[in-house]
Amino acid sequence: MSASRLFIAFTAAASVLTLSTAAFAQSGEVNLYSYRESKLLQPLTDAFTKDTGIKVNVVSASSGLEQRIKAEGANSPADVLLTVDIGRIEEAVQAGVTQPMKSEVIDKIVPAQYRDPDGHWSGISMRARVIYASKDRVKQDAITYEELADPKWKGKICIRSGQHIYNNALFAAYVAHHGEAKAEEWLRGLKANLAQKPSGGDREAARDVAAGKCDIGIGNTYYWALMMNKDPDKKPWAEATKVILPTFAGGGTHVNLSGLLLAKHAPNRANGIKLIEWLAGEHAQQIYADANYEYPIRDGVAINPTIASYGKLKADTLPVTRIGASRKAASTLVDKVGFDN
């Protein structure tokens, strides 16, 4: 290609990029970067647009959104970031891609332990890290997290990698409750009770319980509901198990968050805050609970019947910020005890 043609092609490409970026920054729009798939969010975004007249542009990915926003810098079109884990909430704040939002609506609705004291993020929904127990082989209906290290479960537990963000958050909560020394002892006991090397995901834990490879698996509440209601091929795995809501001794059930953060250079800042506040409203909370099988962050909103069937959730009151502060220690302990080996 000649130099002149190359210049023309480059100029045309740059113009398209400029136009697409400009299209993201309209007064009647808001740009949502999300770790949830667009199709899962569509009932919410459609309802928000209907209520407010504001169009929602969704960019979804399974990883790397914090890095993308950081790389985009001051020209980033991102207004709001939707995360699905405590770890990613913290990573976004540490990456410097968020800004504090002052919202009386959020402060009134969201309990203090589920939002950032400095206003950088707010929880929008909760999921619990629970036990998928064999209906045939596990007779008890109450288990503590501490009990998972009891030798009576030797060779009977299935779990995904200890370094996965969901387990990291649970292990970090254990560190926050009991300190690093006791957490290390507990992790060694839990490892000794594993039926196999940590592998797969939460659904596979239920699969292996159903197959008789283990008696209990560790998973998030919503996966069981998805298997039961949305995936006929995996429904037998759910039907072979029951969900037990474990608790910390003297405490409650560990919960993780889906969180919302206001992007540092949000071009539609007012609309971003409006979206965050709307998602905390009763209508949105009900849609979110039913579409994603999570616990509403707002009191008084009905829990999806499948999730409610697990029993009453007594959520742990440990502030999420303390769990986030213990994540590195938990990760180090996982390696120290050779949990995934």
Tokens of 169: 């958050």
Q: What is the pLDDT of residues 61-81, one digit of tens each?
A: 988 999 999 999 999 999 999
Coil/strand/helix, residue 272: helix
Domains of the chain, by residue range, sit at: 3-126+257-302, 128-254+314-336
- Which top CATH class is 3-126+257-302? alpha beta
Q: What pLDDT score does 210 carry?
A: 98
> How large is the average pLDDT for residues 289-313?
95
Mean pLDDT of the chain: 91
Query: DSSP strand E in 18-113: where?
Result: 29-34, 55-60, 80-83, 98-99
Distances (CA, A) of 94 to 70, 90, 97: 11, 6, 8
Query: DSSP strand E in 274-336: where?
Result: 295-296
Q: What pLDDT score does 311 carry?
A: 97
Give 11's pLDDT tier (boundaries 50, 70, 90): very low
For residue 3, is pLDDT > 80? no
* Sequence-distant (≥ 6) Cβ neighbours of residue 29 within 8 angstroms: 54, 55, 56, 57, 268, 271
Give 156's pLDDT tier (boundaries 50, 70, 90): very high
> How large is the average pLDDT for residues 153-169?
97
Q: How many CB atoms lie within 10 A of CB 191?
A: 19
Q: What pLDDT score does 27 carry?
A: 63
For residue 7, is pLDDT > 70? no
DSSP 134-179: ETTT---S--BTGGGGSGGGTT-EE---TTSHHHHHHHHHHHHHH-
**Domain 128-254+314-336 = CATH 3.30.460.10:** no
Fold equal for 3-126+257-302 and 128-254+314-336: yes
